[in-house]
């Protein structure tokens, strides 16, 4: 599979929407089988105790603050297995399209699985830190459904208008990492694959 095969049907829509709004939503970016490939691996990682509570802050100041962020994550570091190849095709494809079509200075990607247990949330924040602004684009692929306002991603656009995005399996959203956003309290288990296009080369930096 070409690194941009998943993206080829969507390039025009993505470039048009992102250039105008700084975000893009695709309701069915991956199919049910691909969702299951990712979800089953994420659930296996959780069963094996490999998820850890997400942290806030940067560098040595990172800390767990559950009242602000209470999701659990598992970083993906191998990309040769079926789930790893799929993750690579999603994020390396985005990296290529961002460089070729948006002329962004992306150099690499990073990604992790995320799970929000019932009652979990992530309060208002931005993915691009002022002191280490390496993240250019944020990309979320949803692997489960949330009902109503539960577990919604709420983006605030350039005019501070809220955009509510309800998780549904296969849905993908890309947005400028500088946009403020939050995840509302989830009423059910909420699974996703989340990644970033970055403009630095050091794979040890995750800010």
Domain that holds residue 46: 8-55+69-198
The pair phi, psi for residue 2, each rounded to 5°, is -60, 150
- State the total domains in the chain: 1
List the alpha helices (DSSP H) in 22-127.
32-47, 82-101
* Any domain includes 60: no
pLDDT tens, position by position, 66-90:
899 999 999 999 999 999 999 999 9
Question: pTM of the predicted model, to two decimals?
Answer: 0.94
**By C-alpha distance, which of 130, 180, 129, 134 is closest to 154?**
180
* Any domain includes 135: yes
Q: What is the CATH number of the domain that holds 141?
A: 2.60.120.620
pLDDT tens, position by position, 32-67:
999 999 999 999 999 999 999 998 877 666 788 889
* Strands, sheet with 162-165, edge to edge from the N-terminal-most edge strand: 122-125, 181-183, 153-156, 162-165
Count of beta carbons in the 10 Å neighbourhood of residue 131: 7
131 pLDDT band (50/70/90 cuts)? Answer: low
């Amino acid at each position: 599979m070409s690194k941009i095969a998943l993206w080829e049907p969507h390039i025009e829509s993505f470039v048009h929407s992102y250039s105008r709004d700084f975000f893009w939503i695709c309701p069915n970016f991956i199919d049910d089988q691909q969702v299951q490939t990712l979800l089953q691996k994420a659930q296996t990682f959780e069963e094996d105790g490999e998820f850890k509570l997400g942290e806030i802050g940067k560098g040595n100041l990172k800390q767990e603050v559950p009242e602000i962020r209470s999701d659990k994550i598992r970083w993906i570091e191998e990309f040769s297995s079926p789930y790893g190849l799929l993750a690579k095709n999603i994020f390396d494809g985005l990296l290529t399209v961002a460089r070729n079509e948006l002329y962004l200075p992306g150099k690499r990607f990073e990604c992790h699985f995320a799970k929000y247990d019932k009652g979990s949330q992530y309060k208002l924040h931005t993915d691009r830190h002022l002191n280490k602004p390496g993240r250019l684009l944020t990309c979320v692929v949803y692997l489960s459904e949330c009902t109503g306002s539960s577990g919604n991603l709420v983006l605030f656009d350039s005019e501070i208008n809220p955009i509510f995005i309800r998780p549904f399996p296969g849905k993908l959203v890309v947005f400028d990492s500088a946009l403020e956003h939050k995840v509302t309290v989830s009423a059910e288990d909420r699974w996703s694959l989340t990644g970033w296009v970055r403009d630095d080369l050091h794979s040890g930096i995750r800010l």
